[in-house]
Amino acid sequence: MDLRVELDETQFPMIWIESGNFFMQWLPVTKIQIEYFLCSGSVTAFTAGWYDEVLDYNPRITPGLVKGSNYWRAFITGIKPLEIRQFISWMGSGYDMPTVDEWQKAYKELKQQEADSNVISQLTEVSSINRRAATLIRNIDISLGEISAARDGRKLADQALMRNGVMEYVYLDDRRNTYGGFGQPVGQFFGNTASPDKGKPERLIDEHEGAKMPHYGFRLIKRGS
């Protein structure tokens, strides 16, 4: 299949979601992308101590060492929604977390399509792609292929880790001031039974700010493209 792909501000790939009329990051946001944000020095509150605390929830892994038993360590977790919103501001105009409706539209669209090795080639061969992003995408896809339970009936949603990735923050309403979660955290590490097929987001107890949770990360969309 042919994808419409563009790169985000960190040179990681985003794919076009036709049903939602937006681009969506192919993978949940990685520690690599957060490190670009931290190194920019644009927000002084995000110190080395802050990052060390985040890594306590889910230690870092380099793209070249990713395999089936650790690939989720590539993604940032243990981060609060209000912290995410500062990252969004740094990314620039048009970027945002998805609403419940937008996340569901993307999931349903990708779930209708079979997993395809050609998709990985399209993503990793985009001109100017971040080299570490390309390595990470290839190694994650190989890793998932090694997990027998994920091989049968794999969909594009599985390749994009909307299942067996991390729980992803979403806005619970169009006002964008309350938060919940969608996705299916990988069971080997997070031990969570959430499933996007249930059709309802997980509602947070502290829905205004959230809390640092080891299985919660996020991915962004870009509207107005």
Give the range with max mean pLDDT: 15-19, 146-150, 198-202.
15-19
The type of residue at 135 is T
Alpha helices in 81-198 (DSSP H): 81-91, 100-111, 117-124, 131-146, 148-151, 156-159, 187-190
On the question of pLDDT at 165 being above 80, the answer is: yes
Condensed to tens digits (0 to 9), the pLDDT of residues 102-129 reads: 999 999 999 999 888 899 999 999 999 9
User: pTM for the full model?
Assistant: 0.92
User: Structural domain boundaries of the chain?
Assistant: 5-223
Token duo for residue 114: 């079979």
